[in-house]
Amino acid sequence: MFFKNIIGQQAIKERLIQSVLKGFIPHAQLFAGGEGVGALPLAIAYARYLNCTNKQEDDACGICPSCVKFNKLAHPDLHFVFPIVKNDKKKKEICDDYLTEWRSFFSENIYFNLSQWLDFIGAENSQGMIYAKESNEIIKKLNLKTYEAEYKIMIIWLPEKMHESCANKLLKILEEPSAKTVFILVSENPDQVIGTIQSRSQFIHIPPIAPEDMTYALSQTYTLDDEDLHAIVHLANGNYIKALETLNAGEENKMFLELFITIMRNSWSRDVKNMKKKANDFADMGREKQKSFLSYAQRLIRENFLYRLQLPEINYLNKAESEFSVKFSPFVNERNVISFMEDLALGERHIEQNVNPRMVFFDLSMKIAVLLKK
């Protein structure tokens, strides 16, 4: 991963490069950016540049021994921590147990989200997290001397998924790391990272990808007419993963829309039998997909509320969603929109807390039945 491979973010790239060239290397940095903006690729490109032995003005050289090892994310002084699921049968309990899968997945997917990663490792109903045991592994690795590079680098993807005891154990080493140690924490929800870690890290905000950069990136890879290209960039709203999903008419998005429509129809008609049936289907989706769906449902409610304003520039619905919203949007109004959002967000929190998904889904369906009549 090089800086040149990352879509847009030129100001951030220049800031990171200049900090290295001027010798200003904070020992702990928090790269904070939403899904699909390139925060993780930026972290890896920055790590490569730090240890490149023949740095160029705008990127790593790509041919020195360090860069060659970075090509496969196999540098001995580069370490990764990321959400996993425990697999007792295969004796997989820490991130290193998934390192082969991680390297393989990243080699094919520069931009990805947690749900896609967990699908790749077969998480099923398990929720990905960074377990308490990982803290001992991190401390052990960082207490060793560097093998061959100038810096030992620890990249933690989604530190908000860290078990509390794991996060607390890292505070001392974050505050007083050994020489030439760099922590790069990559977060999509920095507010969920414990405050004591935030206060020990330099905050770097990674903004959404600029429309012109998204347009250029898509036009270089796909053959699209100007109208379709403009529509995809608008819907993506700075998120490259969303752009690809829109471009490929993401199967998951289709499934989520169909489920959303079914819920609304069942709730409107007070069809309890089918509510229960869909609750069973929802329970079989796996917890990460359940949370993703409830997040999607919140977005769709918000977009349907805005749809009534007839301002296309602030609406982010794809063609199928727009067709549904023509008839559905009148049912989302000032009297029920806040309750809709609160109930869906509560359902998402309940799934996060391992509440029975059938109960969560059925309860939501009953609440929606009441809200649709307002």
pLDDT in tens, 252-291: 778 899 999 999 999 999 999 999 999 998 888 878 889 8
The confidence score (pLDDT) of residue 68 equals 92
Query: Over the chain, what is the mean pLDDT?
Result: 88
pLDDT at 146 over 80: no
Which range, of 143-147, 257-261, 290-294, 337-341, averages the lowest pLDDT?
143-147
Mean pLDDT of 312-335: 83
pLDDT at 312 over 70: no
In CATH, the number for domain 3-205 is: 3.40.50.300
Is the sign of the CA dihedral 87, 192, 78, 52 positive or negative? positive
Cβ atoms 372, 267 nearer than 8 A: yes
Q: Percentage of the chain surpassing pLDDT 90? A: 51
How many residues are recorded in the chain?
374
The confidence score (pLDDT) of residue 245 equals 80
Q: Strand 202-205 to strand 181-187: parallel, antiparallel, or no bridges (unpaired)?
A: unpaired
Q: Kindly report, residue by residue over 9-41, the tens digit of the pLDDT.
A: 999 999 999 999 998 999 899 999 999 999 999
The confidence score (pLDDT) of residue 314 equals 65
Cβ atoms 16, 25 nearer than 8 A: no
Mean pLDDT of 332-346: 93
Which range, of 251-255, 320-324, 357-361, averages the lowest pLDDT?
251-255
Give the C-alpha separation, 371 to 270, whole Å.
12
Domain boundaries, the chain: 3-205, 210-248, 250-371
Give the C-alpha separation, 330 to 364, whole Å.
20
Mean pLDDT of 360-369: 93
Give domain 250-371's CATH architecture.
Up-down Bundle (1.20)
The confidence score (pLDDT) of residue 313 equals 65
Q: Kindly report, residue by residue over 86-126, the tens digit of the pLDDT.
A: 876 677 888 999 999 999 999 888 999 998 899 898 887 77
Cβ atoms 130, 91 nearer than 8 A: no
**pLDDT band at 230; cut points 50, 70, 90:** confident
Q: How far is CA 207 from the centre of its chain?
A: 14
Give the C-alpha separation, 147 to 282, whole Å.
48
Q: Kindly report, residue by residue over 52-87, the tens digit of the pLDDT.
A: 999 998 999 989 999 999 998 989 999 999 999 887
Euclidean distance between the first and final Cα of the chain, in Å? 52
Measured CA to CA in angstroms, residue 343 lies from 109, 255, 352 at distances of: 34, 21, 14
Nearest alpha carbon to residue 163 among 137, 130, 198: 130
Nearest alpha carbon to residue 320 among 215, 246, 225: 246
Q: Kindly report, residue by residue over 175-212, the tens digit of the pLDDT.
A: 888 888 899 999 999 999 988 888 888 999 999 999 99
